[in-house]
A and B are shown apart, each in its own frame.
Chain A
C-alpha cells in the first residue's frame, strides 16, 4: 500500500476534520486537502512527472508545502525536500545530484536557485508559488496554470512498497550532502509503529516543529494524517524563538509535541513557560541528540503530567529504539537517559570486531535490521557497500555507526560514534563537511574541526585553523564566509588559530591532541 493511501483513507473517514493548521489562523479540512492534492497531482502529471521521478520541494512550511508533497506522492513520484534557509548553492547541488524532474518553490526563492542551477549545469523547471501560504498560494498557482492549459484528471498512483517515497539529504563526510532513499514500505513500517506505540486519536493536535528535510517530519506529517488528527505547522522563525513557541504550544492546545532536545532546552530556559497552561499536552517526544539532564529535569518539573519518550535513530532507519522516561528525574541523576529498547518493527544486534555479537554489558556497534531500513544512498555505491553488512542467513543489516551498551535492564545506552558525525541542535553534522568549507577560504592553510560534549548545550563544535599568512582571520569574516556555503547550524561555536596544526608521527593532523587542547581554556588563541 502507498504511504499517501493512509491520508486518502483518513480523508474519507474524517472529511470535516481539520487536517492542517497554520498559527496565522489558516486551516484546511481533510476533504479540501484531498481535493487540493488531487489538483496538484493532475498538474504535475500534465507537466510530465511520472512514477519513479524525483520532485524537489524548496518551500517554507505551509499548508501549500504539505499539499505539494502529497500531490507529488499521488503521482507516484518521490519528493526531495530541502532546507529553505540553506544556501541556494547547496540546494542546487542536491537537486542536480538526484536529477529532479521539476522543483516546487516560491517566487522569492526561485531566482537565486535558478542562477545556481544554471551555474551547476542543471535545468529542472521551477514551479514558483506566490503568496503567504494558507493553501492560497498553491490554489492561486493552480488556477493560473489551469487558465493557460487545463490539466485533465489523472489517477492516483498506488505505489509499490519498494518505490521511493522521499529522499532526505544529510551531511556527508566528503563535503557534499548525501541522499538517504526511503521507500513507501520504510515510511509505513515506522508510521505503523507510531500508531501502536502512541495511539493517536482524531482529536489529537500534533506539532510540526522540524523542517521537512529532517526525518522528524515523517512522524509530524504522516502520523496525524493517518488518524484524522490535526497537524499544527510551526514556521521556521517561530520555531527558533522560545518566547513565541511557549505561547503557541499553549494557545494551539497541542496534545503531542515532537522536536529535538535543543529547542526543549531553550523553552525551559527562555520560554517563560510559567505564564501558560499546558493541560492538553499528553506526549512529549524528543529525538536527534542527547537531552542535557539539567534541562530535562527542569522541563519535567514544569510539565509533570505528559508522558515523555526519548526516540533514537538515524535518518537511514528513522526511529529504531525508544525509551519512556520515568515520572520524575532524580535529583542526583547526572547521566543522560538510555536510548531504550529496539522498536518492534526492527531487530538490533550489537557487534564488535566485524560481525561478532558482544556479550551483554559490552560495548559494540548497533546494527539494525528490518523493513524500515533505507534502500541506500542515492548514487553512492561505495558508501552503500560500507553501511550495509551482509550477515548471510541472518540477513542484511544497516550499520548505525553508533556505539552502544546493553544495560542489565535490557535498555541500550548510547556511548558515542565510530566516525566524525555529530549532532548539533539535533542536526547531523559531518565535521568533514565543515572542514571542506573552511579549506575553500583563501587564507586557510589547515583546518580541523572537533566536537566536545557540553553539559548545557549538548555539544560545542570547535574549528582549529592555521592560516597562510600566520595571522588570525576575523571571526566575523569567517562566520560570514561559512554562512555562504553551509546551513547556519553548521557554523562552529569556537575558532582557534594555530601557527600550524599538531601532527601525528605519520604526519596526519593529530585530532586527539586537538580534542584535548580544546578542553583547556581558550587562552591559547592567537
Chain B
C-alpha cells in the first residue's frame, strides 16, 4: 500500500521542521518555500534529508536525482517520493 502524497508531505514537513528549523512556526514552511536554493537546507542537510527519505519510505535515491530539481520544495519532495512509490 502506498501512502498518499498529502500524508507524505506532512511527514517530510515534520522532519524538516524538527531537524533543520527548530522553533520555526510550522505555517512559515509552505509547500512552495524554496529550501536548497536559499540555503535553508545546506548540502549536509540535504544528504540527511535523502537518508531520511530512503529509510522512512523505503526508496532508493540515485545520484542524479539528488538535486534541487527534485528536492527544492516540500511539494517537489512529496511528488518525487510518491513517484518512487508508484
Query: Contact string, B21-33, partner A, CB cutoff 8 A, digits 1/0?
Result: 1111100110001
Q: Is the CB of A475 within 8 A of B24?
A: yes
User: Which listed residue (A242, A472, A491, A493) contacts B47, Cβ 8 A?
Assistant: A242
User: A228 to chain B: closest CB distance in Å?
Assistant: 31
Q: How far is the CA of A209 from the CA of B31 in the complex (A)?
A: 33
Q: Is A1 an interface residue (CB 8 A)?
A: no
Q: Is the CB of B51 within 8 A of A270?
A: yes
Q: Is B3 an interface residue (CB 8 A)?
A: no
Q: Is the CB of B24 within 8 A of A489?
A: no
Q: Determine the residue in chain B with the shortest Cβ distance to A489.
A: B42
Q: Is the CB of B47 within 8 A of A270?
A: yes
Interface size on A, residues (CB 8 A): 28
Q: Is the CB of A480 within 8 A of B38?
A: yes
Q: Is B6 an interface residue (CB 8 A)?
A: no
Q: Is B12 an interface residue (CB 8 A)?
A: no
Q: How far is the CA of A477 from the CA of B64 in the complex (A)?
A: 29
Query: Contact string, A234-245, partner B, CB cutoff 8 A, digits 1/0?
Result: 000100111110
Q: Is the CB of B43 within 8 A of A266?
A: yes
**Known contacts being A266-B47, A270-B47, A525-B22, is A474 close to B42, with CB within 8 Å?**
no
Q: Is the CB of A247 within 8 A of B63?
A: yes
Q: Determine the residue in chain B with the shortest Cβ distance to A265.
A: B44
Q: Which residues of chain A (222-260) have a CB below 8 Å from chain B?
A: 237, 240-244, 247
Q: Which residues of chain B (11-49) have a CB below 8 Å from chain A?
A: 21-25, 28-29, 33-34, 37-40, 42-44, 47
Q: Is the CB of B67 within 8 A of A476?
A: no
Q: How far is the CA of A269 from the CA of B46 in the complex (A)?
A: 13
Q: Which residues of chain A (259-309) have a CB below 8 Å from chain B?
A: 266, 269-270
Sample (10) of A-B pairs whose CB atoms are under 8 Å apart: A243-B61, A244-B63, A244-B64, A266-B43, A475-B40, A476-B21, A476-B33, A477-B28, A480-B40, A522-B22
Interface, chain A (partner B; CB < 8 A): 237, 240-244, 247, 266, 269-270, 425, 457, 472, 474-477, 479-480, 482-483, 488-489, 491, 493, 522, 525-526
Closest 10 CB pairs of A and B: A243-B63, A244-B63, A488-B39, A491-B39, A483-B38, A483-B39, A474-B28, A480-B38, A240-B43, A270-B47
Apart from A243-B66, A269-B47, A476-B24, 9 more pairs, CB < 8 Å: A474-B28, A475-B28, A476-B21, A477-B28, A480-B40, A483-B38, A488-B39, A489-B42, A491-B42
